[in-house]
Structure 1
């Protein structure tokens, strides 16, 4: 870390609460993990996190930076009207603001919203039948899945109400002809959900290219998936795997902490 970067990091860290700084570190880590897994779309998707407190502020990436450039200190803090709370030379992507602010507004339980444009995710989003119950991974998604029709690039505020209605209480959302979105009570939960969602789509596309008839999972298994997930993670959800992911980043890409 050079002197300039250190000064900028300390300036932001000293201006926010310890709780917000930890949230910034975790969100920056999430951006780096998305880049590491190849889910980023240059600079065109977003991960947001609600800042604790009554102000309904949330953190979003500086528009124009690659995901592996995101740090705890350069994340933007904005309000519900897209005004920057801490000054930054970087803008906010209007499409990112519309989608993410809509979810945060409707879902008090959504600390984190993660949206991707991966090839597999978009491919499945374009399929009429959407996510198919053909893998163990898909059962976790199908237990809390919703769909939202494509309305063009999401820059109009009037789409927010329809997106909110379609999402409802689901934690996985297929944006038709567009991509995937997950909602999490924590950043770790949203990341683990997207990891499962993306794998579900990759498996589906791979299975369909095999040319054989696909077998479907018994619907009763999907109904019991909530209990199965709790058993798998010891009831901890995303926080079960998050420390291991942070350790991996600290070994390979520690700049997210700046």
Structure 2
């Protein structure tokens, strides 16, 4: 008996896509669990395995704690819906931001963008993210900045956004929020967690009065130690899924 190679490849791609769908749905629910969501706004996306330039994003209108693997919308690089599990509208600003990164960075398997209050607060701070904590110092070598240009509806902004991101995995969208990009959903969410935690710590530290700054040598040393930060996902992601399974299961349908 012979096996049709093309059928095997297609089945493999379907299985790989379903795995990405489950991971992305989990990330949406984790954002809600940590209190980082913004009603139906902001967005997380992931590249669909395969030769097509397709990626998955949330249907515009669902709260993050409602997202499931099958409800995610598949769109192409032009923002056209390829497949949906019900609601098929996507946030146009989400398409602008996410398509920029997915099209400009071949290594970006996932992209996550939030309007969480502490992240927006630090994006609006004159000095941005400061080395006030070990967590922040682990982020700084991975961080870039992009100036606010208005609601991201202008496709021309994509070129400037990807230019400002460069080869970094984290970005402050000035006066707007935060963004992370990584090879896959687990890595990208891990970057997001570190960046949001660093922002939360800074907001609290600066609200207490004068802050203590570490030495430049300590900042440099921690930056060197942070080069493998994304690899922490191997430990964090399974633990996060266990947390989600205990608090808000049902995302993998």
* 2: CA distance, partners of 1:100 / 1:72: 19
Task: Report the Cα offset of residue 15 of structure 1.
Answer: 11
* 2: CA distance, partners of 1:15 / 1:86: 18
Equivalent residue in structure 1 for 2:134, among 133, 136, 143: 136
Aligned twin of 2:7:
none
CA contact (8 A) 2:46 2:185 kept: yes
1:65 aligns with 2:62: yes
CA contact (8 A) 1:48 1:112 kept: yes
5+ residue gaps in structure 1? 1-13
Q: Which moved more, 1:220-229 or 1:141-150?
A: 220-229
Q: Any idea what the Cα deviations from partners look like across 1:120-152, whole Å, max 9, x if unmatched?
A: 111111111101111001011101110000000
TM-score (norm 2): 0.90
Aligned twin of 1:54:
51
TM-score (norm 1): 0.89
* 2: CA distance, partners of 1:229 / 1:129: 21
Equivalent residue in structure 1 for 2:16, among 11, 15, 19: 19
Q: CA RMSD in A?
A: 1.9
Aligned length: 242
* 1: CA distance, partners of 2:12 / 2:135: 41
5+ residue gaps in structure 2? 1-10
CA contact (8 A) 1:230 1:237 kept: no
Aligned twin of 1:3:
none
Aligned twin of 1:250:
245
Aligned twin of 2:8:
none
* 2: CA distance, partners of 1:113 / 1:98: 12
